[in-house]
Structures are given as structure tokens and as C-alpha cells.
Structure 1
């Protein structure tokens, strides 16, 4: 939900707990892990590949799509429903999905029931392109958009081929920074009817993001590993209103936000500002497609002031009131380029119903690429003001999910959290421990 483009990204190690029977797009899975290669790629400005996206770092997975199989790289996004791929307009364009050369590719006509599925990712009423195909368009907070048509094709994951997965075949779009070519697409993982995890009929999935070596694992099904300590579960918010609310996303992973601690001090925040109001504004969403965490104005201001108070004399203020990183992060500091580690900082703990997420040390500050002030680099507080983005929600980004085992239990409508060394978890899962 930020405003800057991708400079580099991580490619995840995927582990699918599979052995599948597919019938009418319903699947049953048993423990049979399939392990994908772990890769890290540099996506700095000037690279030939870019994501039409607004995150400095994105979590990506590698799949195969079509017949014959074409490799694709997709952003893992728990904040989106519709998966989509960049589709070729011309045979001269490389590294994008080419539907013309897939014999299993089927565009979705406007008359298909799929085209009338209720989702925020499709225009309402349904629109058709000149070929009478179902038009699809998605938009993001940085004003970038992608357009194309709905389609179905085989998605292949480590030898498992699943036919008829619905996705957007996007062939046009716009971006706030002008970088539209790029990695192949996005994997929508929320609870909507067209999301990838819903179409695959998985009861749960988990991921673990390392803060050490840009590695991670994504796992579908039950973990069932002895070294994973007991998870703390927090229930998903269920709105009682039967009517759509203008600011509430019913298919997001929305949590009960109960408070914030800085060090040992609990901020004096009224519960009314931490919970959705009658319009749905103020929900708290877990979003792997956003890098940092953004809080509504009153909560952000209270956190900012307390963090400043507890780091006075420890951190040197940037001293530039008009400097705002990613359009929403205005608390920044000067730290000597020669300094290899941060001084002791107070832990920021986000409190949810039945669970908590602690953010400490290197996850509290982020060095802004390319910003240097004499002998110092610019480092910004990794919480921002969501109201500066025009978002009426609390958004928990993946930077603060590092070294947390994150389980999304769709069957029981809850999210499980446990602190884990994710670099070690990745190695253990690869070795089958």
C-alpha cells in the first residue's frame, strides 16, 4: 500500500503439502512435500525485470502455467483476491505468459457464471471486451492499474497440475512510476471466491519470512513439525451487518486490534479507534503484499510520540520536516554510515485478541535507499500513517511478520502466530525435519 516501486525482491521457497485429487476444482491433500528452489534476485532500477507494484520488497513464488508449461513468478498477496499474469501482446516480448502457445488456455466469456462472481476485483456491472470476453481490472493504492480478461489454465506446482484455475490475463495497465514491464503477476491469497487458496480448496496455509537471508517458506496444509511451538490464535473479525460496508473488506484477514505497547508502556488508546466503525473504516488487515505497517492517524501519532520519547538521546532526528518516505512514514533519523548495528531500541508490540506481534531491533528502522546526508544514512521508522495513503484501515505488512510463523486457518476463521527463526525453519523443512 506504499507509493514507491520495487527495487529488489525475494523469491520464496515453496513447500506444497499435496498428492491431489481434483474434481470440479475440489482438492484433498495428504502429506507429500514438494520443495522448490530458493532464489534471491536483485530488482533495482535499471534491471530488465520490474513489478508493476508499489512495494520496495515483495514476496514472490515460482510456478508453471499452461501447456506446455511456462515459468511464471508471482507476488504472494494475502490482501488481494484475483490472481493475474502479464500476458504477451507481441511475440517480441519475453518473460511474460503467452496464452497463444498454451493449448489448455481458455478465456472466460461474459456469459459464464464466473464473470458475475461478486468480487471487488471485477467491475460491476460486468463489462465485456469487444470479443465478448469477461473484462477484468484491478487497481492499487499507488493509482496503478492492470486490465485484461478473465481466463482459465493449468497451474503446475512441483509436478502437481491443477486444471481450470481462474486468473486475470492482463495485457495493459498504468503505473505511478512508469515501470510496467516485469515479473509475471500476482497470486491472490485472501478469502474471496476467486482467490488462489479458495480455488485450490486449501483449509489453511502458512508462511515464514526470514529477516536474515531473504529466504522463506510457504506451506499449504498442516505443518505437523515437532519444532514448531504452539501457535497463539486470534479470530478473524466477522461483521454482523448483512449489507456491504463502504470501507470494510469482508474477505480480508481482518483481526481484532486491542492495543500497542512501546517497551513496557501500554499506549492510552481508546478501543473505539482500534475497531471498525459502522462504515467498516478502521479494520486491521494482515497483508503480505504490503511491506511496512500503517496505522490510522490517532494510533500512529501516539506510537510516534512515545517512540520518540523513549529514544531521545539514542537516535538523531533527521531534521527535515518535509521528508516523508513512501508517502506515509515521516519519522526518520540520521545514522552514521560507519555504524553497523542499531543502538538498543524499545520493542513495539501489537496486541490482538489472543495473540501479539513484537517488532524489535532492525525491524523498527529501515534505511532509505539512495538517501545520504554527509556521513549519515537516512533510516525511517517502519510504521506509517495510513491516512496519508488515503487508506481507512490498519495494515500489517510483511516486514513486521519476519521471524513469525503465520498460519491462515480458513476452516476455523483464525490466524495463528508464533515466533520462529525462519531461516532455520526453512532449512529444517527442506531437510524434512
Structure 2
């Protein structure tokens, strides 16, 4: 499920430098035998950059995006792609309406090859697309990505050489897209496309043969680390694993190539919300799955679970926080629990923790990750802070989505071989130091 930003108040980018460290784990030359260790850092991007206006499958925003710097083509062209565990098809912008937008030029690459609509790739490997691939007038494989806000992007499938971490991966399949957007801003978008990393056959992690990847986003200084490949690093922390949920029968509202886990309960401090298990289970249409998605900032819960969490968090913060009494203000269309905090106040009061209880693992959100200060929003001398859990029902989506804001300082391991996700609470900046990425 592609999840991107839609006109956020500002944008922070976590830049992944992909040429630093390669560790050979065995004598095999396959990409799955190599672990690549990659650092993360942040850069502030002004609002109005083009990427904040790319199509959205879900109607919500996010302000932090994981981005990957690499090169594509022969000779290589530098590109920056958003790392999205909720998307299958990687794509690059090949045409643009603004000179300031970064673009990949296929006519400058001798290794670029368009894919015909009769090829096995087009016929067999696009079945998980929301809209089936088709033939264009040149008999090329044409893909259309459709989004819930009625926007779309489209272009032709092609292959070219991707260079990631100093290693060439020839014949990598991606979309060469003509987005056709106009913009009121001349700010450089600084992103050329999107890197799909879900479980689909055309995702980059599938094409490269990596059976495991991990990332860790620091909540202290926004540094972090990304690992591509397998490694035994038990010194980080013992990982608790939750199995990935898979179904064999296609259902209309179930994304079969998403990283779907089973949410079993929610706690506020030590109080377990009294919700039936059926609230967290997909129904006969597939609606109600729980997806772990790096393409979304915040976490969104279906109505009954969100209402119960909202009410309990409100009840436990009544004496320490002042509620924003403004029924007309709903942050990003889905977050209707907000508070007024004196602008001169340097820290938030002690807040109750919120724990998401998965089958076999638990993710606990605490402190400042529970409230988000809304940029530019004030009431008198108070700033506005909103609860970082939103209501999926207000977005007209039929799923739980675990965003990366709540994955800060959590080691996230995506184990495709054993079909599971591992979690552990860690200091991501310290983990980066252990890998030699920071002083």
C-alpha cells in the first residue's frame, strides 16, 4: 500500500548515504550474502516542495521520510528515492513540468530497456497492482498507480542498472513515470522517486534477493542506521518476533504484499483497553489488517480502537494537560485530540505510555512521541500539541497503519525468510556508533 505525504506543514528528510560500508558475510557472491550498513541523517526541507504533492493512497500527511541516495543507469545518474515498506513498484520521475524537479533521463542510459506488454514481467508480475498493467500505443507495459484521493501516476515499466552501496544490480525493474504535476513553488523537491520495499515480486528487496533488512530511527538526534541483508548482532538487544499474517485467498480490502501483523490489544500505562479481539481481526472482506509502514509518519487505528484509546488517554491526562476545545480543528483530518501547551514550557509533563500489543511482541510509545506540536498553530500564548494516534475511519481507510513516528528507537527487523518482524527497544544512535557510523 503506497503511503505518501499530502501537503504537510513542513518536511524533514532522513537521508541515507549508500556508499559507506559493505561487510562480506560469506564467500558467496549473491546479494543476499552481503550486509550493507547505512547511516541515516536529517535535513529540513521547506514546505511546498514537489514531493509533498505526490499522489496519496491514503488521506493523511507525514513530515519525516526515509530516503535513499543511489545511482541508476549507464553512465550512472544520481537519484534519491523514498524508502517505502508499503509499496511494491519502485519508480523514478522521467518527465517533469518544472526545471527544478530532479528527473531520471532514460535516453541518457545505454542500459535502459523498456518492457513490452507481452513480456512475462508485465503479464505475471503486476498482478498485485490495484489497476492491471496494460499496453500503450508502442506495445510497452503501462502501469497506473491509483490513489484514494482520486489522483494517480502512470508510466511504463522498464529495467536498468541500479547501483546500491557500490554494487551494480543490472536489470532492476522500475516504473519510468510521468507524473504531470504543476507546482506553485520553485523549491527543489530533492527526491526523484520511490523505492518499493514490500513483499511483492517487483519490490526492490525481492528483486535484489535480500531475505532480511532492518532499520532504526533515532529519537534523539534523528540519526539512525539501515541494514540490507542478514547479520547476527545479538549485542543490540534481544528481538521479540511477531509473525507476518498471510492469506491465500484474494480479498478486496486486504493488501497481501504488505507487512501485516496481528494487533491483539492496547494498553494505556498498565490499563488494558476492554476491546473484543474481533476489533483487531480482518473481516471477511479483508478490512481491518494491521500494516507496518515506513511511508507513514503517525499511527492510525480503526474507529472502535481509536475511540477507546482516545478516551482512556484523555482520562489519564486530565490533570496534567489542557484540552484544546475547538471542534473545528482536526489535525491532518484524523487527529481530534489536541492540547494547549504554554509556548514557554520547555518540556511536557509526565504522560502515560501507550503500548501496542502484537502477537509475540510489544511496541511502547512514551514521552514526546505521544504528542506532536503542530507547526504554526497557536491559541493565544499556547502552542497546539496533538495526540499522535489518528482515526482511520476519518480517512475512509479500512486498516490499522503503524507509522514510523512510533518506531523511533525501535530496532525494526523485516525477516522475509521466516515471515516475521522483530522488535526491540534500543538507542538507535548508540547502535549506529557500534557499527562505526558515528563518532
Fold shared, TM-score > 0.5 on shorter chain: yes
Task: State the TM-score, normalizing by the size of structure 1.
Answer: 0.91
The aligned length equals: 426
Q: Deviations over 1:63-120 (max 9, x none)?
A: 1111111111111111111011111358956521111111111111111111122433
The 1:119/1:428 distance shift into structure 2, 3 A limit, reads: farther
CA distance in 2, matches of 1:19, 1:100: 35
The alpha carbon displacement at 1:178 in A equals 9.3
Contact 2:22 2:34 in 1 (8 A): yes
Q: Kindly indicate whether residue 144 of structure 2 is the aligned counterpart of residue 127 of structure 1.
A: no
Give the structure 2 partner of residue 389 of structure 1: 395
**Larger deviation: 52-61 or 309-318?**
52-61
For 1:231, which of 227, 230, 239 is the aligned residue? 239
Bigger Cα displacement from structure 2, 228-237 vs 168-177: 168-177
Q: CA deviation at 1:352?
A: 0.5
Aligned to 1:427: 433
Are 2:210 and 1:184 aligned? no
Distance 1:80 1:367, change over 3 A: same
Aligned to 1:159: 166
Partner of 1:95: 102
- 1:139 positional shift: 3.1
Q: Is this contact kept in 2: 1:52–1:179, CA < 8 A?
A: no
Corresponding residue of 2:289: 283
Q: CA RMSD in A?
A: 2.8
User: Is the Cα contact below 8 Å between 1:234 and 1:353 reproduced in 2?
Assistant: yes
- Which residue of 2 is the match for residue 269 of structure 1? 275
> Secondary structure of the residue that 2:314 maps to in structure 1?
helix
Aligned partner of 1:206 in structure 2 is 214
- Please report how far the alpha carbon of residue 34 of structure 1 lies from its aligned counterpart in structure 2 after TM superposition: 5.5
Contact 2:96–2:181 (CA under 8 A) maintained in structure 1: no
Task: State the Cα deviation string for residues 351-408 of structure 1 (Å, max 9, x = none).
Answer: 0010000000010000111111111111110000011111100000000000000000
Asked if 2 retains the 8 angstrom alpha-carbon contact of 1:254 and 1:286, the reply is yes
CA gap of 1:176–1:4, structure 2 versus 1, over 3 A, is farther
Comparing 245-254 and 210-219, the one that deviates more: 210-219
Counterpart of 1:11 (choices 8, 15, 20) is 15
Select which of 46, 52, 74 maps to 2:81: 74
- How much does 1:131 deviate? 2.0
Which of 376, 383, 387 is matched with 1:370 structurally? 376
Instruction: Report the equivalent of 2:118.
Output: 111
TM-score in terms of structure 2 length: 0.90
Aligned to 1:139: 146
Whether the 8 Å CA contact 2:297–2:403 is kept in 1: the answer is yes
C-alpha displacement at 1:19, in angstroms? 5.5
**2: distance between equivalents of 1:361 and 1:302?**
20
- 5+ long unaligned stretches in structure 1: none
Cα deviation, residue 121, structure 1: 2.9
The structure-2 alpha-carbon separation of the partners of 1:108 and 1:369, relative to structure 1 and needing over 3 Å to count, comes to: same
Gaps of at least 5 residues in structure 2 are: 56-60
8 Å CA contact 1:295–1:393 kept in 2: the answer is yes
Residues 117-174 of structure 1 deviation map (CA, whole Å, 9 limit, x = unaligned): 24333632x3122222111122334444221111101110121010011111111245
- TM-superposed CA distance for 1:5, in Å, is 2.4
Which of 229, 241, 253 is the equivalent residue of 1:221?
229
The 1-side partners of 2:76 and 2:262 are apart by 42
* Residues in 1 aligned to 2:198 and 2:238: alpha-carbon distance in whole angstroms: 24
Aligned partners of 2:412 and 2:424 also within 8 Å? yes
Aligned mates of 1:119, 1:70 — CA distance in 2: 30
CA distance in 1, matches of 2:420, 2:85: 14
